[in-house]
Amino acid sequence: MHGIFEEILPLVRKPSRYIGNELNSIHKNWDDVSLHIALAYPDLYEVGMSNLGIQILYDILNKQKDVLAERVFCPAPDMAEKLKEQVSNLSLLSLESWTPISKFDMLGFSIGHELTYTNILEMLKLSNIPIYSKDRDDSHPIIFAGGPACFNPEPIAEFVDFFVIGEAEEAIVEIGVRVQGIGDRVGKLKELAKIEGVYVPAMKNRVKKRHVADFSNAHVPIKPIVPFIQTIQDRAVVEVMRGCKRACKFCNARVLYSPVRERDPKRVISLADELIKNTGQEKLALTSLSSSDYSAIESVSKEIAQKIAKQKVSLNLPSLRTDSFGVRLAKEVSRVRPSSLTLAPETGNEKLRFSIGKRITDQEVLEGVKAAFEGGISAVKLYFMIGLPGETDDDILSIAELVKKAHQIGRSFTKRVRITAALSTYVPKPHTAFEREAQIGISETLRRQKIIKDNTRQKGIEVRWHQAETSFLEGVFTRGDRELSRVIVAAWKLGAKLDAWSEYFKFDIWQKAFAECKIDPNSYLRKRSPEEELPWNFISIN
C-alpha cells in the first residue's frame, strides 16, 4: 500500500498535502490503543489545517491513553483520480500512518459551511464507505460531524450517524468512553444519544447545544501541528474569548458560540509564549468574534507584541471593531506596518445598521477610516452586506456614498488611495433573529451589486463581490431540510466537488441536480411564517 502511494505522490500537485509527518504531528502505535478515530475536514489540506477545532480535538483525543486520532482531508481532483484508477482500488489514507480510512472505528467531520457537503460524499466514496448511514453496518466506521454548519444538520442527516451540536471539547471525551464496549452500531448510537449535545438522526432526538463552562482553563494544544505548506490561516492562534458581547441580529456565530466567556489574560500571555516556542510561526493571532470587547485586549496585546518583537513575530488582531480605538490598537501592536486595513460597516447608513443590531454610527465608521489613513495606510477595505431585511435601493445607494466619503478622507492624506468595497449577499441563518426572513435571489443580487458599481465609478475605488450563485446555494442549504440530501447526492454524482473554490465550482451542475430531483431551490429562500416548523427546531440553544 505504502509503495503504491509513494509512486503516486510525485505525480500530483502539492504532494505535501498528503504526506503527514509535519512537526508536532502525533504518531501512536495502532495496536496500543482500543479506539481509532479519523478527524476530517471536508476540503483541501490547506483549508482543513486552518481549522482550530480539528487541532484542539486531535490533541485532546491523543492525550487519552486508549485512543488514537489521525487526520484526513479531501484530496484535490488530481489525487482523487489517481486513487480511483489504481487497480488495487487504493483508499483514502490517514495522514499519520497512511491507514485506509475504512479501518478506523470512527470518522468525524468538522463542517464549517454548506459548500463542503459534496466533499463529504467524495471522501466517503474514496474510503469505500457507503454514503448513506442506513447502508452501513458494524464493519464500517461510525461517521459523526460537528462544527458551525451542523446547527442545521438536516440536509446531511442521511449521511451522518450522529452529530455533536456545539463545542465538542468535553463531549468528544465522553463519546470515546461510551462508544467502547458495546458491540453493534445501533447499541452504540443509542448510548451516544444520552450524551448532552449529541443528535442521532435515526432516533430524531431533541438536543441541547453543548458549550464548555470553563473556557478560560479549557484544553489548548500548546504544540499544534505546523504544516509544511502555506495554509489559508498560516499562523499561531490564541483564542481570547468565545461568544460575543454584541447583539447583531444577522450573526449566527454569536449564537453558536454563546455564552460570552473570556480567557484569563495571564493564560493568554503564557499560551502566546509557548506557541511561538513550539511552532516557530512568524505570525500570532489573538482571536475572538469581537476582540475589542475582550476586557484586557489593550494590555494583553501590548505585552505580547513587546515580547515577540525580538523574534520578529508579528501580532494580528482580527475582528477588531470598526472604530478609531480598534484601528489605533491594530496599528500600535503591529510590528509590520500593515499595507491595508479592513473595516466592516456592513451597511451604508446607520439607520439600517442599527436595525440589524450593529450599533456603530456613520461618524464612527469614518473616524475608523481616518485613523487608518493617519497612520500611513493607503488601502482600506470595507465589508458590506446586501439583501438585509428591509433594505431599500436608497440603502444600496448609501453604500456607494459611504465608499466615496471614505475615499475623500483618504485623499486628504495621500494621493494614492485605494478603497475596496467587498459586497457579500446576506444569508439568513438558523437560530438568529432573522431565521425566518427572505433571502434575495440571484438576479436581485446582481441588480443591487450593479447599482453600487455604477455609482462608484472613479479612480481609486474598487468594488468586489461574492459570486451570487454561491451565496444562493449557501442560503438554500443553511435553511434546508432532509429532502435536500437527494440534491447533494445528485450534484456529487454529476461531478460537483470543492464547491467553495471558484476554479472547481460549477453552478450548472447544481441546477441540473435540482431539476433531476424536482426541487425548486428558490423556495428555500422564502420568508417563513411565524407558525411554520423550522427543520432545526429540535436544537435548543440555551
Binding site for other proteins (CB under 8 A): 9-10, 15-16, 19-23, 226, 228-230, 276-282, 311-313, 336-337
Tell me if 431 sits within 8 A of 390, measured CB to CB: no
Comparison of 58 and 250: residue with beta carbon closer to other proteins:
58
> What number of other Cβ atoms are within 10 A of residue 44's Cβ?
22
Measured CA distances, 417 to 59, 345, 403, 407 (Å) = 45, 19, 12, 7
**Strands of the 236-239 sheet, one edge to the other:** 236-239, 283-287, 314-316
> What number of other Cβ atoms are within 10 A of residue 266's Cβ?
11
Q: Strand 198-199 and strand 162-164: pairing?
A: antiparallel
Comparison of 311 and 540: residue with beta carbon closer to other proteins:
311
Comparison of 71 and 242: residue with beta carbon closer to other proteins:
71
Q: Identify whether 259 is preceded by a cis peptide bond (ω within 30 of 0).
A: yes
Q: Say how far apart CA 512 and CA 491 lie, in whole Å.
A: 8
Nearest-approach distance from CB 229 to other proteins, in angstroms: 5
Comparison of 229 and 422: residue with beta carbon closer to other proteins:
229
Q: Say how far apart CA 316 and CA 330 lie, in whole Å.
A: 8
Comparison of 125 and 283: residue with beta carbon closer to other proteins:
283
Nearest-approach distance from CB 442 to other proteins, in angstroms: 39
Comparison of 17 and 136: residue with beta carbon closer to other proteins:
17
Q: Say how far apart CA 332 and CA 385 lie, in whole Å.
A: 29
Comparison of 311 and 537: residue with beta carbon closer to other proteins:
311
Residue 473 C-alpha cell reads as 446555494
Nearest-approach distance from CB 336 to other proteins, in angstroms: 6
Residue 270 C-alpha cell reads as 503564557
The identity of residue 345, as a single letter, is P
Q: Strand 261-262 and strand 340-346: pairing?
A: unpaired
Comparison of 282 and 374: residue with beta carbon closer to other proteins:
282
DSSP helix/strand/coil, 166: strand
Nearest-approach distance from CB 93 to other proteins, in angstroms: 12
Comparison of 12 and 269: residue with beta carbon closer to other proteins:
12
Closest to 69 (Cα-Cα) out of 18, 27, 120: 27
Nearest-approach distance from CB 225 to other proteins, in angstroms: 10
Closest to 335 (Cα-Cα) out of 311, 312, 304: 312
Q: Say how far apart CA 43 and CA 259 lie, in whole Å.
A: 29
Burial of 475 (0-12, 13-18, 19+ CB in 10 A): buried
Nearest-approach distance from CB 21 to other proteins, in angstroms: 5
Comparison of 8 and 422: residue with beta carbon closer to other proteins:
8
Residue 493 C-alpha cell reads as 454524482
Tell me if 171 sits within 8 A of 123, measured CB to CB: no
Residues 6+ apart with CB under 8 A from 216: 261, 262, 263, 264, 267
Comparison of 237 and 421: residue with beta carbon closer to other proteins:
237
Nearest-approach distance from CB 15 to other proteins, in angstroms: 4
Nearest-approach distance from CB 222 to other proteins, in angstroms: 13
Comparison of 203 and 336: residue with beta carbon closer to other proteins:
336
Nearest-approach distance from CB 365 to other proteins, in angstroms: 27
Comparison of 282 and 401: residue with beta carbon closer to other proteins:
282
According to DSSP, the residues that pair with 382 across neighbouring strands are 343, 421
Return the C-alpha torsion angle 80, 81, 85, 86, nearest 10: -40
Residue 484 C-alpha cell reads as 435536500
Nearest-approach distance from CB 48 to other proteins, in angstroms: 17
Nearest-approach distance from CB 382 to other proteins, in angstroms: 24
Q: Say how far apart CA 2 and CA 8 lie, in whole Å.
A: 10
Nearest-approach distance from CB 337 to other proteins, in angstroms: 5
Q: Say how far apart CA 184 and CA 187 lie, in whole Å.
A: 5
Nearest-approach distance from CB 12 to other proteins, in angstroms: 10
